[in-house]
Amino acid sequence: MKKHYRWLLFDADGTLFDYARAETTSLRNTFRLLSLPFEEKHLDVYQRINHDLWQAFERNEVTQDALRVRRFEMLLESLQLSGSPDQMSTIYVEQLGLCTHLIEGAYELLQTLHTKSRLAIVTNGLESVQRSRFARSTIRHFISELIISEEIGAAKPQAAFFDITFSRLGHPPREDVLIIGDSLSSDIKGGLDYGIDTCWFNPMRAPRPDDLPITYEIRHLRELLDVLSWGGQVV
């Protein structure tokens, strides 16, 4: 059954913004600007390190400040390269903030939805990256709220993140809110634990976990239109 939601909460990286493309471009540029040799395998090493650290961040085991530098300490050590992790981090974050490439269909989806529901972006990404990218993006005028974990002092999937988010939204009923994201651990589990409906964006067709009662699952962003109704008034 189709349902109308007053608020749609979108994750940023990997859901609206093409993070894989941005990550590749930014890492290449960082190595180039530091005059370091770059090989394709370097990207694989970085992605493994970065993924593990972000997972640790979601578990509240590492801070974002530590994460942003630690990943480059580990990368340089793994590649046996000399350099400054702090300088590498600064350049990489600057480069990432310049990348505004969208997931296929994101612009058209938000263009349609913003006249039917209120839209927010809820992200665990770094403040400087998200603010820089959002200011340059073509979707910024569709978004009513941009909620960034680093700014509010809590991260998905923590309940505190959703408490602050709902405060920013004006405390809507939970049944009026849907979260859409690609991360099972932060977006989907966070939404389920908070008691709101969830939509898993799963373009890679990963197996659906048995222990998460996901409300909707889509493989292309345009499929979200198939599960939403246009009833009610946009406020």
Give the residue numbers annotated as catalytic, written as ranges. Answer: 11
Contacts of the segment 42-48: beta carbons below 8 A, 24+ positions apart: 42/75, 42/79, 45/75, 45/78, 45/79, 46/71, 46/75, 47/23
> Which residues pair with residue 134 across a beta bridge?
none
Q: What is the number of other CB atoms lying within 10 angstroms of the CB of residue 4?
A: 15
The verdict on whether omega for the bond into residue 157 sits within 30 degrees of 0, i.e. cis, is: yes
Q: How many residues does the chain have?
A: 235
Beta carbons of 99 and 25 less than 8 angstroms apart:
yes
Structure-derived torsion over alpha carbons of residues 130, 136, 139, 142, reported in degrees to the nearest 10: 80
Alpha carbon of 90 to those of 52, 65, 95, 126, 128: distances in Å? 20, 12, 9, 12, 10
> How many Cα atoms sit within 13 Å of 84 on the Cβ side?
6
Exposure string of 53-80, with b = 16+ CB inside 10 Å and e = fewer, is: bbeebbeeebebeebbbbbbbbbbeebe
